[in-house]
Amino acid sequence: MTITFKYFGQIAELLQKADEKLELEGPVLVSELKKMKETEYPALAKTDYRIAVNQVLADTSLEIKTTSEIAFLPPFAGG
């Protein structure tokens, strides 16, 4: 399955990229993807962010079984 990572705001600036793709086999937890990216980009582990899967905020225990879009979202204010 193809996982597309999208990075927004200060996260995109920190990583110097807006997106990237990764081919994975089998299901994967959001927590595993988070850990993988924080290992690849250590500065990400020091950043406050939320994760959305297919444009819906997700819990880290969510299992991804199909091609998906994973967004790393910086803190944002609502009003």
Query: pLDDT digits over 37-78, tens only?
Result: 999 999 999 999 999 999 999 999 999 999 999 999 998 756
| 49 vs 27: CA distance, rounded Å | 23
- Could you give all domains of the chain from N- to C-terminal order, each with its CATH number? 2-73 (3.10.20.30)
Looking at residue 59, its pLDDT comes to 95
| Spatial separation of the C-alpha atoms in residues 69 and 4, rounded to whole Å | 5
> Is residue 79 predicted with pLDDT exceeding 60?
no
Q: How confident is the model at residue 26 (pLDDT cuts 50, 70, 90)?
A: confident
pLDDT of residue 77: 55
pLDDT digits (tens, 9 = 90+) for 10-21: 999 999 999 999
Q: Whole-model pTM?
A: 0.90
